[in-house]
């Protein structure tokens, strides 16, 4: 079955346009709620959100949908996506919902669903919910309508959880950390957790107004963080995205450290401590070939999946790995979390920094990445990747990189763009290949 609404990370789009309307959110609540009505217990759903203006509208619509099919709702307010996953499990809820479009601008929003185990839904569950969206919902009798309540200590519960993943014998005393929360879901929890562990914290992106989330800040726009780290003479900078499931780091020299380098640091540290399971890590086709070669040189394996942290997690569970992630900074540490968690991943990096006693610029540069270039081409409709011109350009590019690099072309699952990525030992060749394919896509 071809999915009409769910992409690689839930349902996402521009707010007040199909499918991200209040009416559709209500239908999603009804469909997902009905799908998870199992047994005769009182059913419960946990709903969290980031700081977007449209979060109020989407939350209200979802509550209407869930309660109309007999589910009680627990609202936890603005919290990171991994907090919703954690609270869904700890509160024995039947379903968790995060209202967020992650790193997208405020005009977008999204609906991410978690099952009772705290994991994102499988393709099978999403397909079943989509089938229910095509039908009229079955509404419960008035006495069975669900109730809604808000809990005030959700952020405190998550801070306690995040701190529990940091080694008990260590503290962050003496470290000056700049943290950019993207005016998003972690604007309170991340600075608080770091401060409680002893760090001197310089906080950025902690004044959300509903429209400034990810606006020139956070993991997808780290320039301001880079400048602030150097200005403050901080030891390290941490950038989260709008829902805090993604992490990018800046070293003390102001240089960006991506998810590939961070996964390498964690993998080597955990392997040395006997914590790494599966003798390797899971990453996507977008991760740099340099990471793969580095792991191989240390006797570790890199297993690749298609893009999307849900696919990384599926491979981790199937093969018994406990470290995985994406170059973009989604890092999953399954000993602690069921989804990507930017703050928990940052705490593992900070633990390594404390233990090693070396500057971040040394510790976080584990390998020399091969030249890699990623460009996005926005399109208005149709299927540009299926045209003859684009196919021929891709074939030509693959031939030019044969034996020295690789090419990854894909349609984004979260926005209307074609992503063109190439890497290889010859930087000028990589650039030429990417540019030729992008031109072909534009022409199509």
Q: Which residues are catalytic?
A: 102
| Burial class of 340 by CB neighbour count within 10 A (0 to 12, 13 to 18, 19+) | buried
Q: Is the dihedral of CA 79, 81, 86, 88 positive or negative?
A: positive
- Alpha-carbon distance of 28 to 34, in angstroms, equals 10
| C-beta of residue 166 within 8 angstroms of C-beta of residue 193 | no
Strand arrangement of the beta sheet that strand 148-150 belongs to? 11-14, 108-114, 95-99, 44-49, 72-78, 148-150
Strand partners, 178: 202, 237
Contacts 24+ apart (CB under 8 A), 220-226: 220/103, 222/180, 222/248, 222/250, 222/256, 224/180, 225/178, 225/180, 225/250, 226/250, 226/254, 226/255, 226/256
For the CA atoms of 9, 12, 18, 23, what is the dihedral angle to 10 degrees?
A: 90
Residues contacting 321, CB < 8 A, separation 6+:
277, 278, 280, 281, 282, 303, 315, 334
- Alpha-carbon distance of 297 to 293, in angstroms, equals 6
């Amino acid at each position: 079955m071809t999915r009409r609404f769910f992409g690689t990370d839930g349902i996402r789009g521009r707010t007040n346009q199909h499918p991200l309307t209040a009416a559709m959110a209500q239908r999603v609540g009804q469909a997902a709620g009905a799908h998870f009505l199992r047994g005769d217990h009182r059913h419960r759903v946990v709903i969290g959100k980031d700081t977007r203006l449209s979060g109020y509208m989407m939350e209200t619509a979802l509550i209407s949908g869930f309660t109309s099919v007999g589910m009680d709702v627990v609202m936890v307010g603005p919290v990171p996506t991994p907090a919703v996953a954690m609270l869904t499990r700890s509160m024995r809820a039947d379903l968790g919902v995060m209202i967020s479009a992650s790193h997208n601008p405020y005009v977008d929003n999204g609906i991410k669903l978690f099952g009772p185990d705290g994991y994102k839904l499988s393709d099978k569950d999403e397909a079943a919910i989509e089938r229910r969206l095509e039908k009229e919902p079955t509404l419960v009798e008035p006495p069975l309508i669900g109730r809604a309540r808000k809990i005030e200590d959700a952020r405190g519960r998550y801070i306690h959880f995040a701190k529990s993943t940091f080694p008990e014998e260590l503290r962050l005393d003496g470290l000056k950390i700049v943290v950019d929360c993207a005016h998003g879901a972690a604007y309170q929890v991340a600075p608080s957790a770091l401060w409680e562990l002893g760090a001197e914290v310089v906080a950025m992106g902690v004044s959300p107004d509903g429209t400034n989330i990810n606006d020139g800040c956070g993991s997808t726009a780290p320039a301001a963080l880079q400048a602030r780290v150097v200005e403050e003479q901080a030891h390290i900078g941490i950038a989260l995205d709008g829902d805090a499931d993604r992490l990018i780091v800046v070293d003390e020299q102001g240089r960006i450290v991506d998810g590939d380098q961070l996964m390498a640091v964690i993998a080597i540290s955990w392997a040395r401590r006997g914590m790494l399971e599966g003798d390797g890590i899971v990453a996507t086709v977008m991760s740099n070939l340099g990471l793969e070669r580095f792991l191989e040189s240390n006797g570790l394996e890199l297993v690749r999946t298609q893009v999307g942290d849900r696919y990384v997690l599926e491979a981790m569970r199937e093969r018994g790995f406990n470290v995985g992630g994406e170059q973009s900074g989604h890092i999953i540490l399954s000993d602690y979390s069921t989804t990507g968690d930017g703050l928990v991943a940052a705490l593992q990096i900070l633990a390594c920094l404390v233990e090693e006693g070396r500057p971040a610029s040394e510790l976080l540069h584990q390998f020399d990445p091969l030249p890699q270039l990623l460009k996005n081409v926005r399109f208005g409709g149709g299927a540009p990747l299926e045209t003859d011109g684009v196919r021929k350009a891709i074939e030509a590019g693959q031939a030019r990189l044969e034996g020295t690099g690789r090419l990854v072309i894909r349609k984004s699952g979260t926005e209307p763009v074609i992503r063109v990525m190439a890497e290889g030992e010859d930087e000028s060749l990589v650039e030429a290949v990417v540019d030729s394919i992008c031109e072909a896509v534009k022409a199509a």
